[in-house]
Structure 1
């Protein structure tokens, strides 16, 4: 295609924002459209923002790790405040066998004892005697990151349209990159929804420097530190497309996990309870699918922040004619 391609990116979640920025950097004239009132409306706003390819290998296909190892570098190059402090995996004494099981399924970690855990996280001193430390991982605040990507897009000459019921006419664009999740199930019938739930807590009496994964035989929980002693606690994975309020069971499990990590969480302030439905394919692997001049980037499952940079690059390769 001659000249600068005009590209409509639909959806302002993590898939849409990474695609929009990647396409603009490649020289596209990008218009971002989302009928919601802001960037990140939907599941991406509820995400943990963990950039943890090695930890995810515990339950994800090998391709997830292979395709997401560079994600920390991508996010650090595009948004501020990416923290490269690793991930810490722990289990309460009654479930300490889960640590060994997790280690057998993963790599790129150091086994740590109680003293080393205390060095990494002083507030957890004396509470755990065995864990795994994944030093190469990182995390980012999804809400700040998505807003930063929007500002980057605008700086590169892109435009964003929110709160408009009528989307721009696709006929006015050379390409449409659709990142609208379950809204395109008619075109991608294999999609299903997977519900996730999270809490935001404020606890001035606890300081953490990195995400902590609390292992449990049934439901592993992670706790991700954010600014001002705020912690994201999540997230359940439920085969349901019900986006309603949180269940009592989920709230209890998330709060119990936080309390087990540190008793001070019993006095934490609950700032927010949220649910989101993640679009997922049967194998839980995100895909880029071309249909004429429309490119679908979808099925992010729980890997949105890990795999969206890779999928955005795949979409850009199609648009600019460099796909292998």
Structure 2
């Protein structure tokens, strides 16, 4: 593309940073407007486990998200490889465990995954582990569980390392970052003299005035330092009331979460939800009893009516990308590639491939 193409990106969360970086790499002169500062405190992506688990997530979402998640498993290593700072990435599968009293719930979960795998045969099938194979897969859990499901090829990354590395890449490419500078699409007339060629709205919940179907869904995440716990991969506990995930990061840091509350309230986490998360984690591994709580965080994820992502065109050269919900890291590479394809060709076959809603004029 011509080096004279100019683009404005609104929002410097995960989607905004990914898109600004991709556009700069393709020769665009990029300006990013962000309502808050460079630490991504207002971004849903900062409060996340960043698990890339398309089969596991199929238990609560639809096939378009699963397809985009498959795409992400291939794309994330490519995207990370081009960044100037290291980002922890692990592709060691997902482990799903349950206590004996929750065996019926586990069977229901297993049946859902089997249906997904039938619909998408390219997904590796879940593998049932028993008392002899579980210790080989996850030695530290062998004494607590007699059965588990192993989901091959699923992955995770470090969300905060990624956000920082993307920012470093933007700065390296001389992208103009305008912090504490809230802007809206109507502030620009793309294509007119003195205006950018393209405008991309990646503001999440900040875009509600233009996209009224958006709502916030609250999530709560606890970060622990647990030197006595070793897990080889993200682990999920099936439970009818408080299923949780435990994502092991580097240096014995663990991200624990589960809660979804239909509210945009960003007040601190309640005692009840904190106790439930920590108690559930302790039942997975007793070493969490001596862990140190590094942080208890809350954030509201931008979510559309059907809980699925979408792209809409406000004008010939203005796109809104939103509704990533709890699947931001799982689906953002696919969303990115659809947008880049549209910018380059004014058409997209990828959106059809992913069954992604793309309303264009």
Check whether TM > 0.5: yes
Distance change (3 Å), C-alpha of 1:161 and 1:115: farther
Q: 1:188 — aligned with what?
A: 211
2:342 corresponds to 1:318: yes
- Could you tell me how far apart the structure 1 residues matched to 2:341 and 2:24 are? 13
Residues 236-285 of structure 1 show CA distances to partners (whole Å, capped at 9, x for unaligned) of: 11111111110112101100111110112122111100000001001111
Structure 2 residues without counterparts, runs of 5 or longer: 81-86, 118-124, 190-194, 349-361
Distance apart, 1:45 and its partner CA: 0.3
Query: For 2:273, what is the secondary structure of its paired residue?
Result: helix
Query: For 1:59, what is the secondary structure of its paired residue?
Result: coil
Asked if the contact 2:33–2:182 (Cα under 8 Å) also holds between the matched residues in 1, the reply is no
5 Å-filtered alignment, 1:164-175, equals 164=181, 170=188, 172-175=195-198
2:159 corresponds to 1:142: yes
TM-score w.r.t. length of structure 2: 0.85
Q: 1:37 — aligned with what?
A: 37
5 Å-filtered alignment, 1:18-37, equals 18-37=18-37
- Could you tell me how far apart the structure 1 residues matched to 2:97 and 2:67 are? 24
Q: 1:77 — aligned with what?
A: 78
Q: 2:289 — aligned with what?
A: 266
Q: 1:305 — aligned with what?
A: 329
Distance apart, 1:39 and its partner CA: 4.4
5 Å-filtered alignment, 1:239-250, equals 239-250=262-273
Residues 216-243 of structure 1 show CA distances to partners (whole Å, capped at 9, x for unaligned) of: 1123110000111110000211111111
Distance apart, 1:162 and its partner CA: 2.1
Residues 24-74 of structure 1 show CA distances to partners (whole Å, capped at 9, x for unaligned) of: 333322222213222433211011100111111111011111122021222
Query: For 2:33, what is the secondary structure of its paired residue?
Result: strand
- Could you tell me how far apart the structure 1 residues matched to 2:175 and 2:3 are? 16
Distance change (3 Å), C-alpha of 1:62 and 1:55: same
Query: For 1:214, what is the secondary structure of its paired residue?
Result: strand
Distance change (3 Å), C-alpha of 1:65 and 1:191: same
Q: 2:83 — aligned with what?
A: none
Asked if the contact 1:22–1:313 (Cα under 8 Å) also holds between the matched residues in 2, the reply is no
2:315 corresponds to 1:296: no
Greater Cα shift, 4-13 or 196-205: 4-13
- Could you tell me how far apart the structure 2 residues matched to 1:30 and 1:103 are? 46
Q: 1:253 — aligned with what?
A: 276
Asked if the contact 1:314–1:323 (Cα under 8 Å) also holds between the matched residues in 2, the reply is no
- Could you tell me how far apart the structure 1 residues matched to 2:228 and 2:2 are? 59
5 Å-filtered alignment, 1:95-244, equals 95-106=102-113, 107=117, 108-164=125-181, 170=188, 172-244=195-267
Asked if the contact 1:202–1:271 (Cα under 8 Å) also holds between the matched residues in 2, the reply is yes
Greater Cα shift, 17-26 or 258-267: 17-26
Greater Cα shift, 147-156 or 301-310: 147-156
Distance apart, 1:157 and its partner CA: 4.2
- Could you tell me how far apart the structure 2 residues matched to 1:239 and 1:166 are? 27
Residues 67-105 of structure 1 show CA distances to partners (whole Å, capped at 9, x for unaligned) of: 220212221112232101111011112112322211111
Q: 2:16 — aligned with what?
A: 16
Greater Cα shift, 195-204 or 14-23: 14-23
- Could you tell me how far apart the structure 1 residues matched to 2:324 and 2:300 are? 11
- Could you tell me how far apart the structure 1 residues matched to 2:128 and 2:94 are? 12
Asked if the contact 2:2–2:27 (Cα under 8 Å) also holds between the matched residues in 1, the reply is no
Q: 2:309 — aligned with what?
A: 286
- Could you tell me how far apart the structure 2 residues matched to 1:246 and 1:223 are? 18
Structure 1 residues without counterparts, runs of 5 or longer: none
Greater Cα shift, 194-203 or 12-21: 12-21
